[in-house]
Amino acid sequence: MKQPRVIWKKLPTAWGYADHSKNTIWLDPRQDCAALLNSAIHERLHLLSPYLEEEEVTRIASETAVFLTRLGFKRVIDD
């Protein structure tokens, strides 16, 4: 699958949103690093596995974000 387009935007009702038909993910940049990692994984899962129930997507994203955080992955913003 082609990598999705990512749009950074302040969202009114969620931290992230995925549109399968456009292969696009919207992420709210106001999140802290841990929440952003979780949201990015969560929305990517929606695109990769649209058949998964929301509860399963939430569980997998959360567990993966914790695992990657423990390995030292974090967001670095270049100035």
Give the predicted TM-score (pTM) of the model: 0.91
pLDDT-derived band at 13, boundaries 50, 70, 90: very high
Length of the chain: 79
- The two tokens of residue 2 are 């082609």
pLDDT-derived band at 8, boundaries 50, 70, 90: very high
Pick from 1, 54, 68, 17: which is nearest to 9 by CA? 17
- pLDDT confidence of residue 79: 60
Pick from 32, 29, 30, 4: which is nearest to 18 by CA? 4
pLDDT at 30 over 70: yes
Pairwise CA distance, residues 8 & 44, whole Å: 14
pLDDT digits (tens, 9 = 90+) for 39-54: 999 999 999 999 999 9
Domains located in the chain, CATH noted: 5-70 (3.30.2010.10)
- pLDDT confidence of residue 16: 97
